[in-house]
Amino acid sequence: MPVITNIQDLKRLHKRRTPKMFYDYAESGSWTEQTFRENTTDFEQIRLRQRVAIDMDNRTTKTTMIGHDVAMPVGLAPVGLTGMQSADGEIKAARAAEKFGVPFTLSTMSICSIEDVAEHTEKPFWFQVYTVRDDDYMTRLLDRAKAAKCSAIMITLDLQILGQRHKDLKNGLTAPPKFTLKSMADLATKWTWGIEMLQTKRRFFGNIVGHAKGVSDPADLAKWTSEAFDPSLNWDRVAELIKKWDGPVILKGILDVEDAKKAAAIGADAIIVSNHGGRQLDGALSSIRMLEQIVDAVGDKIEVHFDSGIRSGQDVLKAMALGAKGTYIGRAFVHGLGAMGEAGVTKALEVIHKELDYTMAFCGHRDINNVDKDILLVPKNFSGDWA
């Protein structure tokens, strides 16, 4: 058993154990990947203030996200095809999250269906909604999430059309993989993954196949996205969906102050400052650069959450210090899942928790709820002087 001390260790194992097309699917951004890279490198520019001789006994990372108690302010972000990183991946990740005491968000583009995850978990989870043109499908999707007792929905606003990720096209990404000479050669070296995958029935998009009409190729994510997603989505439609759900709503994919103000005005419970992990608009600023100005603009009206670029508990602490009330990890938990299944997701959460807890202490705090910008050394003009 390898000694895992950080997320990078899990990432290396993920790469070794998972078919290339799925590892690449996770570890890529759109076009030149500038935004994907800067999401992490911009975190490195923020430094921490070391404080000493301050009582660091009895620390807590417990807080709330949209009124839900959490063991630390870190949810699992919705990630499509999670069930291709490891067989039954959504169920494994949801179980790890509920045992740890953090929220799990199921993607519309999951392999395990809403009902399946509900059946195999104890606590309610959150459901991420992509808006598609087919109204009946949308209504049924929300009804299914309600029936499965999902305790919040997360409407993703930054994917009306799919950003191009070169590797997915080159790898011919499908779920399950189609058998070509190239994919067979790769699968031959990932036999544990293959054996587990052969033992499960969950190999297609569980929320789509059998539920959506006119799916021309049930294995092709890019095709279904371009055929079904709603490029005409607007704020009226978002408001309609919020009304229809009639429960807690988080709006995901806000990266601009003007959009944050609109989101705050239509009655959502939280927004997520996010650029989809650098997978949509390449050339957009990193999420962490945008966080503070969005908090300044709407933080007193709506809960502001954060994702994109978190690879450590230190990153979580930096986002919290800049005003976020909660954060999410995407790739950090996917690396754990691809590396070691449910145990790997638990490991990812443990690593992040320890880094968060220790760093908070080194910065002179005992309670995550009291952390503020005072613990940070932020380069002058970090948010940028853009015209």
- Interface positions with ligand FMN (CB under 6 A): 25-26, 39, 77-80, 107, 109, 128, 156, 252, 274, 276-277, 279, 307-310, 329-332
Annotated ligand binding at 216? The verdict is no
**Residue 134 labelled as part of a binding site:** no
Q: Which is nearer to ligand FMN, 100 or 362 (CB)?
A: 100
Cβ 34 to ligand FMN shortest distance, Å: 14
330 labeled part of a ligand binding site: yes
Q: What are the tokens at 76?
A: 């699992």
- The per-residue b/e assignment along 29-42, b for 16 or more CB within 10 angstroms, e otherwise, is bbbebebbebbbeb
Residue 252, φ and ψ in degrees, nearest 5: -110, 135
Cβ closest to ligand FMN, residue 113 vs residue 274: 274
Minimum CB separation from ligand FMN for residue 90, in Å?
11
When the beta carbons of 334 and 340 are compared against ligand FMN, the nearer one is 334
Element (H, E) at 327: strand 326-329
Confirm whether residue 61 is marked as ligand binding: no
Identity of the residue, 328 or 362, whose beta carbon is nearer to ligand FMN in the bound complex? 328
Minimum distance of ligand FMN from residue 387's CB (angstroms):
28
* Ordered DSSP codes for 243-311: HHH-S-EEEEEE-SHHHHHHHHHTT-SEEEE--GGGTSSTTSPPHHHHHHHHHHHHTTTSEEEE-SS--
Bridge partners of 153, per DSSP, are 127, 249
Q: How far apart are CA 7 and CA 346, in angstroms?
A: 12
Does the annotation mark 335 as catalytic? no
**ω into residue 379 within 30 of 0, thus cis?**
no
- DSSP single-letter state for residue 218: T
CB of 126 to ligand FMN, least distance (A): 11
Ligand-binding site membership of 312 (annotated): no
Q: Of 329 and 339, which CB lies nearer to ligand FMN in the complex structure?
A: 329
Residue with tokens 């001390």: 5
Was 80 annotated as part of a binding site?
A: yes
Catalytic annotation, pick one of 68, 120, 166, 276: 276
Minimum CB separation from ligand FMN for residue 42, in Å? 12
Side chain identity at residue 229, one-letter code:
F
In the chain, what is the straight-line distance between the N-terminal and C-terminal CA atoms, in Å? 52
What single letter denotes the amino acid at residue 140? R
Binding residues: 25, 78-80, 107, 128, 130, 156, 165, 252, 274, 276, 279, 307-311, 330-331
**Active site amino acids:** 276
Binding residues for FMN: 78-80, 107, 128, 130, 156, 252, 274, 307-311, 330-331
Binding residues for glyoxylate: 25, 165, 276, 279
